[in-house]
């Protein structure tokens, strides 16, 4: 992944951050410097942990991926062997916006049908908060408007 100064990124513990470049904090130790816009704090992410970061999607990517909420059926969990919760977490480990939206969609559909487990319900709440935060920033909308986009149609 190529990061440029000014890109907006997200990652573990960073809801929305502005990429500020690479810094050497100690001799030979290189870090990505990221300004967390919600916490107003600077994070230093080791270069070797770059896989825990991803760029925020563009507005057009968001709108394209939101079309999934037009469907009232889960995507692919009918073929899951074992725990759905583990499957969802493995999918989220891919660190892509598309994976987040797909898992969020499936959890919303399952919740509507009242078949989510306690752990899936917790995942739904935390994932919705994360996605709403990211989308609010990119779409320059408030959280209520964004939450409206994340409902089944």
Same domain, 86 and 34: no
Same domain, 18 and 91: no
Place of tokens 């899936």: 120
pLDDT at 95 (0 to 100): 87
Which pLDDT tens digit goes with each residue over 96-140?
Answer: 999 999 999 999 999 998 888 999 999 999 999 999 999 999 999
Could you give the C-alpha distances from 56 to 97, 110, 116, 128, in angstroms and in order? 8, 26, 28, 15
Same domain, 66 and 48: no
Residue 64 in domain: yes
Same domain, 110 and 127: yes
Which pLDDT tens digit goes with each residue over 85-106?
Answer: 999 999 998 889 999 999 999 9
Same domain, 64 and 105: yes
User: Partners of 24 in the beta sheet?
Assistant: 30
- Domain of 73? 59-149
Domain count, the chain: 2
Residue 96 in domain: yes
Choose among 132, 150, 151, 152: nearest CA to 142: 132
Place of tokens 């969609």: 105
Same domain, 85 and 28: no
Same domain, 49 and 74: no
Residue 1 in domain: no
């Amino acid at each position: 992944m190529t990061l440029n100064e000014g890109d907006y990124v997200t990652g573990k513990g960073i809801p929305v951050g502005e990429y500020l470049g690479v810094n050497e904090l100690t001799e030979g130790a290189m870090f990505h410097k990221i300004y967390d816009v919600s916490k107003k704090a600077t994070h230093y992410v080791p270069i070797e942990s770059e896989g825990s970061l991803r760029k925020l999607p563009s507005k057009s990517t968001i709108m394209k991926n939101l079309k999934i909420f037009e469907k009232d059926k889960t995507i692919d969990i009918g073929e899951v062997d074992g725990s759905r919760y583990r499957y969802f977490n493995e999918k989220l480990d891919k660190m892509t916006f598309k994976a987040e939206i797909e898992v969020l969609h499936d959890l919303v559909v399952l919740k509507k049908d009242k078949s989510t487990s306690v752990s899936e319900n917790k995942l739904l709440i935390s994932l919705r908060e994360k996605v709403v935060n990211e989308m609010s920033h990119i779409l320059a909308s408030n959280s209520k408007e964004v939450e409206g986009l994340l409902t089944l149609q």
